[in-house]
Amino acid sequence: MGVPLFATSLAEHMPRITERLAEVAASGRYILGPEVEAFEGELAARLGARHCVGVANGTDALAIGLRALGVGPGDEVVVPSFTFYATAEAAAAIGARPVFCDIDPGTFCVTAETVERAFTPRTRAIVPVHLFGNVAPVEDLRGLGVPILEDAAQATGATLGARHAGTLGDAAALSFFPSKNLGGLGDGGAVVTDDDEVAERARLLRSHGSHDKQTYTAVGYNSRLDALQAAALRVLLPELEGWNERRRAVADAYAAHGLGEHAALPEPTPAAEHVYHLYVVRHPRPDELASRLAEHGIEARSYYRVPVHRQPAMAPYLSADGPPNLPGTDEAAATNLALPMGPELSAGEVEEVVAACASGST
Ligand SMILES: Cc1ncc(COP(=O)(O)O)c(C=O)c1O
């Protein structure tokens, strides 16, 4: 049948999920209410955050998170270009200007130096992305003196030292898109923060800018996490740690079987516990490697080949000098290849992937 890129399965948990979905369906409480509140409390506790505000998806979590931090029209927000489009899209959608910074192609994350190079007097926020399940060095960005919204969409459960990704900055955006490390049965997301006022503002913004449906104090969104999604996610949340451990074991097995002789392996940030949302190597000819893997029935895919600062919709946000020079981004875009990863990947499949990478390699 071959080796899939995403080796995950909810089959074992489906009986409990369908039971819980039936309970919520019978309850008649579909928007916010006890199921969403319980999930928010459980996720906040697991991450060690004071607040979790469930929203409709990770993209809205970014937009609402930025606005809750006080970012608005005309403000500049420093974002990496080597990321999923939504990171920059959310800044643009609230009227702010995404300003693109480079990454370290080894970790695939921003550094204090790459962020600082993109700073101007109009910079009002930074959005470091914990890409592929690694953790950006958020503490190094503290000294830059503007609010930090972590894009933790790909890194639920990752840690840096003793703290979880999502609790390192002023607020964070999480995604429960089905392929994510904690994925639901559809779209979902959350804003996580320790700041009472930021949480309050995120709650207001997700419900049309009103707490009581009588008085509207902001132009907000209809962006709530569904009670049905919350019920499914409550079943899956206790599995997260075990799944992430299995992902790390797969990464260790790739290294132990000598994959590093055929490609540059992902480099976790120092002190980070990577959660390998994707296992992304670098290779001088990634398309050739992908074709070789395909011949063996192994799925592999390059991500973000055209980085965000080169996307047509972002042209209006570039400076008059044209696209910024982002050599780390260009290198990552040209050389990356995601190999099969997931809690369900077997030892035999890991060996198959490594053997296929070795076959005909120069
Ligand atoms: C880095 C990153 N940011 C933001 C998002 C947006 O999340 P969502 O798809 O839930 O809107 C995603 C996921 O697709 C992502 O990978």
- State whether the Cα torsion 103-109-114-119 is positive or negative: positive
Query: Same domain, yes or no, for 243 and 232?
Result: no
Phi, then psi, of 308 in degrees rounded to 5: -60, -35
d(CA 264, ligand 1 centre) in Å: 25
Mutate to test the pocket of ligand 1, among 55, 57, 59 (most ligand atoms within 8 A of CB): 59
State residue 361's pLDDT score. Answer: 55
Kindly report the CATH number assigned to the domain that includes residue 324: 3.90.1150.10
- Using only the alpha carbons of the chain, give its radius of gyration: 20
Distance CA 349, CA 344 (A): 10
pLDDT along the chain (362 residues), means of 10: 92 98 98 97 98 98 98 98 98 98 98 97 98 98 96 98 98 98 98 98 98 96 98 98 98 98 98 98 98 97 98 96 94 98 98 94 52
Who lines ligand 1 at CB under 6 A?
57-59, 83-84, 86-87, 129, 151, 153-154, 175, 177, 187, 189
Q: Which ligand 1 atom lies nearest to the CA of residue 131?
A: 1
Query: Same domain, yes or no, for 266 and 351?
Result: yes
Kindly report the CATH number assigned to the domain that includes residue 41: 3.40.640.10
Distance CA 187, CA 180 (A): 10
Distance CA 357, CA 294 (A): 11
* H or E, element range at 42: helix 34-47
Query: Same domain, yes or no, for 120 and 23?
Result: yes
d(CA 153, ligand 1 centre) in Å: 5
Query: Same domain, yes or no, for 202 and 326?
Result: no
d(CA 93, ligand 1 centre) in Å: 15
- Give domain status of residue 3, yes or no: no
Listed in order, strand segments (DSSP E) in 201-298 are 272-273, 279-282
Residue type at 142 in one-letter notation: R
> What is the pTM assigned to this prediction?
0.98
Query: Same domain, yes or no, for 225 and 245?
Result: no
Which two tokens mark 124?
């009002």
State residue 256's pLDDT score. Answer: 98
- Give domain status of residue 153, yes or no: yes
- Give domain status of residue 164, yes or no: yes
- For 261-279, the DSSP string reads GTSBPP-PPTTEE---SSE
Distance CA 236, CA 343 (A): 13
Specify the residue with its C-alpha closest to ligand 1, atom 12: 153
Domain stop point among 202, 237, 272: 237
Domain extent, residue 101, equals 11-237
- Give domain status of residue 4, yes or no: no
Which DSSP state fits 3?
B
State residue 311's pLDDT score. Answer: 98
Close Cβ partners of 265 (under 8 Å, ≥ 6 residues apart)? 254, 255, 259, 281
d(CA 187, ligand 1 centre) in Å: 10
Residue type at 226 in one-letter notation: D
Phi, then psi, of 38 in degrees rounded to 5: -65, -45
Q: Which ligand 1 atom lies nearest to the CA of residue 62?
A: 4
- Nearest 10 degrees: CA dihedral of 228, 232, 233, 239? 180
Query: Same domain, yes or no, for 222 and 287?
Result: no
Domain stop point among 172, 204, 237: 237
- Give domain status of residue 6, yes or no: no
Distance CA 259, CA 242 (A): 24
d(CA 172, ligand 1 centre) in Å: 12
Query: Same domain, yes or no, for 210 and 263?
Result: no
d(CA 58, ligand 1 centre) in Å: 5
Buried b (16+ CB within 10 A) or exposed e, 284-316: eebeebbebbeeeebbbebbbeebbbbeeebee
Query: Same domain, yes or no, for 327 and 308?
Result: yes
Total domains present in the chain: 2
State residue 1's pLDDT score. Answer: 59
Query: Same domain, yes or no, for 127 and 243?
Result: no
d(CA 52, ligand 1 centre) in Å: 17
Query: Same domain, yes or no, for 216 and 273?
Result: no
- Give domain status of residue 330, yes or no: yes
Name the nearest CA neighbour of 29 among 236, 230, 233. Answer: 230
Q: Which ligand 1 atom lies nearest to the CA of residue 175?
A: 10
Which two tokens mark 197?
């006022």
Query: Same domain, yes or no, for 230 and 246?
Result: no
State residue 96's pLDDT score. Answer: 98
Q: Which ligand 1 atom lies nearest to the CA of residue 130?
A: 1
Point out which residues pair with 336 in neighbouring strands.
282
Domain stop point among 211, 237, 263: 237
Which two tokens mark 36?
């969403």
d(CA 183, ligand 1 centre) in Å: 11
Query: Same domain, yes or no, for 156 and 301?
Result: no
Structural contact between residues 216 and 210, judged by C-beta atoms closer than 8 angstroms? yes
Mutate to test the pocket of ligand 1, among 177, 191, 278 (most ligand atoms within 8 A of CB): 177
Distance CA 18, CA 33 (A): 19
Distance CA 8, CA 186 (A): 15
- Give domain status of residue 159, yes or no: yes
Mutate to test the pocket of ligand 1, among 84, 129, 176, 181 (most ligand atoms within 8 A of CB): 84
Listed in order, strand segments (DSSP E) in 204-263 are none
